[in-house]
Amino acid sequence: MELHILIDGTRDLGGQLYRQLSAAIRSGRLTDGQQLPPTRLLASQLGLSRKTVSDVYDKLGYEKLLVGKVGVGSFVQTPHASPQRRHASTPLASAQRIARWEATPTPLRRASQETPARYAFIGGRATPAHFPQDEWRACMLHALRQGGQARGRYGPVEGLPALRAAIAGHAAFSRGIHCTEEQVLVTSGAQQALHLLALTLLEAGDTVAVEEPGYPVARAVFASQGARVVGIDVDEDGLIVAQIPDGTRLIYVTPAHQFPLGMPMSMARRHALLERARQLGAIIIEDDYDSAFRYEGRPEDALQSMDRYGVVAHVASFSKIMLPELRLGYVVLPQALVAAMQTVKYLSDCHTASLGQHALAKFIDDGHLLRHIRRCHDIYAGRRERLQHWFNGPLAPWFRLVPASAGFHVAALAQAPLDIAELLRRARLADVSLYALASFYHGPARHEGLFLGYGAIDKLDIDTALAIVLAILQEIAPLPLSGVANRVASDSAP
């Protein structure tokens, strides 16, 4: 890349070069330690004599703006902090729109970026130590070879054929999904899939029904398109379908493992939801975020497998199964949405990065993904068992676990009035990160309690962390003596 210098005419050539280099260094455009081109090269590029350039370099060196290193080159030396460039404050025609985006909430963003505690019950995050690095490295090398054959060309907007075929086969095997490869759209994570669906289906003022409590990011995505987002209560059977208002255009649900409470949607409620969507002509977004891990009961197919009306868009991600930084997900679309969604994806980012797609296709086809899921299943089952031990035992006077048969998070409902904020504050001081259920409600929280992810905390650490939590609870919400005696007797019983 050439250094940006403009020489005008044939007069004061050295002065022009000196003033531009000096200004670039003093303004910070050329940063401290940056190497300048050799005098011979810069002279050739600018059409100057080498002596002219050498004289300018010598002058800048005398002013301590350049430092020369014998046999290496000339380097920028900034003697003091560069002044900030001032911009005129021009009123922008889009100021109100910019202000709305600035005011748009970005839920869970801080939790994902903060330094984790030693004992972190954060949701949606797996333990990197259990990821099969050697197998993935081999798949990445395969991807580099494949990428070399198509270098210099953009990939297909809908995703690489090899990955779409692998996803269709994996989804059919693990979730009972009925689809063709054409219906699979590869995305940069599930969040992009939600955004593309919102762009495709929503106009300002349209009604979207979401679970309450529910995934805050999904609510924010729909609201950012100007939609009227309506919270629908959930009970032990999942979303209460009867509350979905007339005129609803989009319905967002997590039927396999309700986020954040954890219970599955009952079969009767699923049939009722599909029928309601058919009546409304609404699309259901099924967010299948962590259903790969199931611990008890008979496996249940995805809602999409029950769809006979073409109204379910099945969204899933590899971030939680594998690693979040991969940023790969997909959506299985109803046939009616395929062409429109491909257009929206093309206008949004052309296509998802091909290197990761090649590697993931190989990873799935070689059986590494299923083996990884089986290994993690056993690990998560052990962690889940430790949580159940604590919340069904020592912590039972304060909390009750919501029954959940899948995923790698659970919800614990407070049994009595409890200062959750104080519990979280004291736990964080003891290097334990807990998360309040109330943060997943858009309106007033109907249930106080805790959201506990166990994907990123080791089994032995769960015992240490929850012993700390128990000690804090005994301080801020001590049990009556009779309750303590009964609890000790119960815990010591064979």
428, 339: one domain: no
Residue 444: give its domain's CATH number: 3.90.1150.10
Rounded distance, CA 242 to CA 13, Å?
80
Cis omega (within 30 of 0) for bond into 213: yes
Establish if 3 belongs to a structural domain: no
Q: Which of 412, 403, 422 is closest to 451 using CA atoms? A: 412
Asked if 292 and 424 sit in the same domain, the reply is no
Same domain membership, residue 424 and residue 352 = no
In a domain, 8, yes or no: no
- What distance in Å separates the CA atoms of residue 169 and residue 187, rounded to the nearest whole number? 17
Read off the pLDDT of residues 351-367 as tens digits, 9 standing for 90 and up: 999 999 999 999 999 99
150 and 113 in a common domain: no
Whether residue 381 is found in the same domain as residue 338:
no
In this structure, are 338 and 247 located in the same domain?
yes
Q: Is residue 322 in some structural domain?
A: yes
Query: Same structural domain for residues 254 and 377?
Result: no
Tell me how far apart the alpha carbons of residues 285 and 483 are, in angstroms, rounded to a whole number.
Answer: 46
Q: CB neighbours (10 Å) of residue 60?
A: 22
- Is 155 within a domain? yes
Do 456 and 354 fall into the same domain?
no
Q: Please tell me whether residues 361 and 416 are part of one structural domain.
A: no
**Does 98 reside within a domain?**
no
Residues 262 and 155 in one domain: yes
Assigned domain for 213 exists: yes
436-462 b/e (C-beta count within 10 Å ≥ 16 → b): bbbebbbeebeebbbbbbbbbbbbebb
- Residue 123 clears pLDDT 50, i.e. is over it: yes
Q: Yes or no: say if 356 and 326 are a contact pair by the CB < 8 Å rule.
A: yes
In the chain, what percentage of residues exceed pLDDT 90? Answer: 72
* pLDDT computed for residue 28 by the predictor: 85
Query: Looking at the DSSP assignment, which residues form a beta bridge with residue 186?
Result: 330
How many Å separate Cα 419 from the centre of its chain?
30
pLDDT classification of 492: cutoffs 50, 70, 90: very low
Print the domain residue range for 237: 133-366
- Domain stop point among 366, 382, 408: 366
Q: Could you tell me if residue 41 is inside a domain?
A: yes
- CA-to-CA distance for 375 and 100, rounded, in angstroms? 45
Q: How does residue 484 score in pLDDT terms, banded at 50, 70 and 90?
A: very low
Q: In this predicted model, what pLDDT tens digit does every residue of 199-212 receive, in sequence order?
A: 999 999 999 999 99
Residue 493's pLDDT is: 38
410 and 360 in a common domain: no
The mean pLDDT value for 384-394 works out to 96
| Tally of domains within the chain | 3
Tokens of 41: 């090269």
Assess whether pLDDT exceeds 70 at residue 481.
no
DSSP string, 72-99: TEEEE---SPPPPPP---PPPTTHHHHH
Average pLDDT, the chain: 90
Q: What is the CATH number of the domain that holds 302?
A: 3.40.640.10
Residue finishing a domain among 76, 94, 117: 76
Which of 345, 366, 387 is the last residue in one of the domains?
366
Examine residue 93 and state whether it is found in any structural domain, yes or no: no
Q: How far apart, in whole angstroms, are the C-alpha atoms of residue 35 and residue 29?
A: 13
pLDDT score of 196 more than 70: yes
**pLDDT, tens digit, 9 for 90 and up, residues 261-318:** 999 999 999 999 999 999 999 999 999 988 888 887 666 789 999 999 999 999 999 9
Residues 63, 159, single domain; the answer is no
What CATH number should be reported for the domain holding residue 63?
1.10.10.10
pLDDT digits (tens, 9 = 90+) for 63-111: 999 999 888 899 999 876 545 555 667 889 999 888 988 888 887 776 6
pLDDT of amino acid 289:
87
